[in-house]
A and B are shown apart, each in its own frame.
Chain A
Amino acid sequence: MNRRWLALALAGVLALVSCGGGDASVVLEGENVTLNMFDNRFEFTEIRIPVGGSVDYHGAGRNPHNAVASDGSWTTEDVFGSLEQYEGDSAVITYHEAGTWTFFCTFHGNAAGAGMAATLIVGEPEA
């Protein structure tokens, strides 16, 4: 029986040290934010940053992912060098102009905003 309780304790410790947690909100807001790309969705479906702010598109799944604006104006490939970001890979994009974009993962979503897709709002949202 000792082993069982020791195991439970060990599991608890392992879980504690590995616990990352998550936000219950679907909106990510800040100046310089990190957006996890899970399998197969973005952690938040709406991201708001000020002009001059940045988004760190961070691979957090077992599958490769990317983020590409539906209008083609920006892509994580531009800064990361590949469309395939695996777990731990980061692509930081700084946005110097206001605007609103739908963006998607080319592997698991589409430009119409279906599937692995989200909205980025830089500056004040358009009326």
Chain B
Amino acid sequence: MRLRIWALAAAALALASCAGPPPGDASPAATGDTTNLAPGEWTGTTRNVLGEFPTIQAAVDAAEPGDLVLVDRGTYRESVAVTTPGLTIRGVDRNEVIIDGEFERANGVEVLFADGVVVENITAMNHRINGFFWTGVRGYRGSYLTAINNGDYGIYAFDSGDGLFEHSYATGSPDAAFYIGQCNPCDAVITDSVGEYSGLGYSGSNASTELYLVNNVFRYNGTGIAPNSWDGELLPPVENVTIVGNLVHDNGNGEFPYKTAQWIAQGNGILLTGSEHSTAARNLVVNHPMNGIFLHANIDKNVWMAGDNRVVDNVVMGSGLADITMAGPSQDGNCFAGNDYSDTMPAMLELRQPCDGLRFPSSFQMGSLTSLFGRLVERNLGLDTEVSYGDMPHPEPQPQMPGGAGAEVRPAVNVFASAVPDIDSIDVPAMPSDLEVTQQKGFNIMGVTFASVIGGLLGLYAYVLPLALYAAWVVIALWEIIKRDDLSTGAGIGWMFAILVIPFLGVIAYYIVGKSQIPAAYRWTMLAGGMGVYILFLVLGLVIGGIA
């Protein structure tokens, strides 16, 4: 019992002693203030780039709120900053209107605190930071966008609310192809889009509530979909994210650019990292070296634990570790039902933690976390293989926006209200004819895999070893008690009771004060030697992993 109290105290102390997110306020636009300074309708004025203005930036600077900036075919070697609300920036041809950063400029299009700006039917590539970027805005829409090989994010909305990314494509970004961050309620939808060859297909740090990812394809990334809680941005934890009807496959197979977090997380289909009250339903998740769907905590300044998430009616196959994995520590309330899968970790998750009826206390396992830790050590030791974001393959020409240059002009005002999907009508995606299950089940010991060799060793020494040691201590102690003649029956039963009921401390107490007849040298080798190896590996891991 003392161990439990100590454990609880340590966790509570850790949580209490860590300050929350650093000071600063999220923008009102990202926290539910519906004020949108953009006009609700097009002014009727079109600013033609090339015909009237030599650059997109020149047209944007001349435009009034609510104007259309219509961009002719060409490669534009510029970075466009937008501070005028309600503009629509439209290319006449998605594949032939290209903003090229030439790996020198920061952002393709950045919308800074200008509400209601729409960008559509344009390609942005080769920027050092982002392809398309909105920040601090209420009302945004990106339609029929293509983002290729941008150094941070492809298509990105931060600290903003009321948005839609649709029919868009992003590839080759080390952080994420699509990213929505720091908003609650986000009032946002990503739909009918493709994210590939990036660190993450979708990342959503502290992006919560009324946030829908539906009918997208996330493939060939490090990880497919990853809503996550962390302390580096405001508004943690991530909660109330709805992930439905997405095709998520082959993430973690092949090359992709990445940052540290993406390297650590690789090989998973859908990650719910410290997520709360979120739903992953009717997704098709195929071919992942680690887990198809993986719920786990994020240990940052705070420990963000997954809780009250629903994982239901997904089809998951071809997972190296397990199709559905619940790693600890976690909160209660995560539930699993109606999924089509072959295995879970821990086993029988749907039986133990169903969404309806009797639910056992939260169950999870820890071994799968060791691969994450091992990847961190690999990265810090420089054992990973650097992949340049500029080297990812360019896509085939992408579909044009219906209507093209003459399509209706609609500033991004009340976007979410008209974009919120009918979730109940969305089915599991059909298996593409060219997609086969190719991922084989990997070897693991109590969830410890060797996908990362260092992770495997850490797992063996820092996770499996102490459990094996404990089992050995208990067995040897019980056997000795049975054999001892100097103990009364009552004393023997008392020690047995202590050993079996008090985790770790009971058996340690027996060896130290129970007058065990095992020679002291052997006893101390068994106790201190084993634990010494464990502590040595744990400390090495923490230090090299950069956590301590």
Question: Does A62 count as interface, using CB distance less than 8 angstroms?
Answer: yes
* In the complex, chain B residues whose CB is within 8 Å of the CB of A106: 106
- Complex: how many Å from CA A21 to CA B535? 26
Contact (Cβ within 8 A) B175 A22: no
Most B C-beta atoms less than 10 A away, residue of A22, A44, A62: A62
Interface membership of chain B positions 1-40, coded 1 if the CB is closer than 8 angstroms to chain A and 0 otherwise? 0011011111111110111111110000000000000000
Contact (Cβ within 8 A) B261 A62: yes
Contact (Cβ within 8 A) B17 A19: yes
* In the complex, chain A residues whose CB is within 8 Å of the CB of B106: 83, 106-107
Question: Does A100 count as interface, using CB distance less than 8 angstroms?
Answer: no
Interface membership of chain B positions 231-256, coded 1 if the CB is closer than 8 angstroms to chain A and 0 otherwise? 01110000000000000000000000
- Complex: how many Å from CA A20 to CA B17? 9
Closest to A86 in B: B259
Question: Does A61 count as interface, using CB distance less than 8 angstroms?
Answer: yes
Question: Does A7 count as interface, using CB distance less than 8 angstroms?
Answer: yes
What are 23 A-B contacts defined by CB distance under 8 Å? Answer: A1-B503, A2-B467, A4-B364, A5-B4, A6-B7, A9-B10, A11-B11, A12-B303, A14-B299, A14-B303, A16-B14, A16-B17, A18-B301, A18-B547, A19-B14, A21-B19, A22-B21, A24-B19, A25-B23, A26-B23, A39-B205, A64-B128, A64-B129
Question: Does A38 count as interface, using CB distance less than 8 angstroms?
Answer: yes
Question: In angstroms, how far is the closest chain A Cβ from the Cβ of B382?
Answer: 14
Q: Which of A49-57, A71-79, A89-97, A109-117 contacts B (4 or more CB under 8 A)?
A: A109-117
* In the complex, chain A residues whose CB is within 8 Å of the CB of B542: 14, 17
- Complex: how many Å from CA A19 to CA B152? 27
Contact (Cβ within 8 A) B24 A26: yes
Question: Does B302 count as interface, using CB distance less than 8 angstroms?
Answer: yes
Contact (Cβ within 8 A) B232 A8: no
- Complex: how many Å from CA A74 to CA B224? 41
Question: Does B334 count as interface, using CB distance less than 8 angstroms?
Answer: no
How many chain B residues have a CB neighbour from A under 8 Å?
A: 63
Closest to A109 in B: B112
Contact (Cβ within 8 A) A12 B14: yes
Contact (Cβ within 8 A) A40 B18: no
Contact (Cβ within 8 A) A38 B158: no
Question: Does B366 count as interface, using CB distance less than 8 angstroms?
Answer: yes
Question: Does A63 count as interface, using CB distance less than 8 angstroms?
Answer: yes
Most A C-beta atoms less than 10 A away, residue of B21, B83, B129, B130: B129
Most A C-beta atoms less than 10 A away, residue of B19, B23, B261, B303: B23
- Complex: how many Å from CA A42 to CA B234? 12
Closest to B206 in A: A39
Contact (Cβ within 8 A) B23 A23: yes
Most B C-beta atoms less than 10 A away, residue of A3, A17, A115: A3
Contact (Cβ within 8 A) A15 B232: no
> Which B residues lie at the A interface, using CB under 8 A?
3-4, 6-15, 17-24, 81, 83, 106-107, 110, 112-113, 128-130, 135-136, 152, 158-159, 175, 181, 205, 232-234, 259-261, 297, 299-303, 328-329, 364-366, 466-467, 470, 503-504, 542, 547-548
Interface Cβ pair total, 8 Å cutoff: 161
Set B17, B24, B329: member contacting A8, Cβ < 8 A: B329
Contact (Cβ within 8 A) B113 A2: no
Closest to A18 in B: B547
Within 8 A of B (CB), among A26-54: 26, 36, 38-45
Set B15, B19, B158, B548: member contacting A18, Cβ < 8 A: B548
- Complex: how many Å from CA A84 to CA B104? 11
- Complex: how many Å from CA A8 to CA B24? 31
Contact (Cβ within 8 A) B22 A43: yes
Most B C-beta atoms less than 10 A away, residue of A11, A22, A40, A115: A11
Question: In angstroms, how far is the closest chain A Cβ from the Cβ of B106?
Answer: 5
Contact (Cβ within 8 A) A115 B135: yes
Contact (Cβ within 8 A) A5 B17: no
Contact (Cβ within 8 A) B22 A36: yes
Set A8, A16, A18, A87: member contacting B8, Cβ < 8 A: A8
- Complex: how many Å from CA A40 to CA B21? 13
Question: In angstroms, how far is the closest chain B Cβ from the Cβ of A77?
Answer: 12
Closest to A104 in B: B112
Question: Does A60 count as interface, using CB distance less than 8 angstroms?
Answer: yes
Set A21, A44, A61: member contacting B301, Cβ < 8 A: A21
Contact (Cβ within 8 A) B547 A20: no
> Which A residues lie at the B interface, using CB under 8 A?
1-26, 36, 38-45, 60-64, 83-84, 87, 106-110, 112, 114-115
- Complex: how many Å from CA A15 to CA B15? 7
- Complex: how many Å from CA A14 to CA B18? 12
- Complex: how many Å from CA A5 to CA B329? 9
Closest to A61 in B: B232
Question: In angstroms, how far is the closest chain A Cβ from the Cβ of B108?
Answer: 12
- Complex: how many Å from CA A123 to CA B79? 36
Closest to B3 in A: A5
Closest to B471 in A: A2
Contact (Cβ within 8 A) A21 B135: no
Closest to B81 in A: A110
Contact (Cβ within 8 A) A14 B547: yes
Contact (Cβ within 8 A) B11 A39: no
Contact (Cβ within 8 A) B10 A41: no
Contact (Cβ within 8 A) A2 B22: no
Contact (Cβ within 8 A) B152 A9: no
- Complex: how many Å from CA A39 to CA B129? 13
Contact (Cβ within 8 A) B303 A15: yes
Set A15, A22, A38: member contacting B14, Cβ < 8 A: A15
Closest to A10 in B: B366
Closest to B1 in A: A5
* In the complex, chain B residues whose CB is within 8 Å of the CB of A26: 23-24
Question: In angstroms, how far is the closest chain B Cβ from the Cβ of A8?
Answer: 5
With contact pairs A2-B503, A9-B7 given, residues A15 and B365 touching in the complex (Cβ less than 8 Å): no
Contact (Cβ within 8 A) B135 A8: no
Contact (Cβ within 8 A) A12 B22: no
Contact (Cβ within 8 A) A107 B232: no
* In the complex, chain A residues whose CB is within 8 Å of the CB of B110: 107
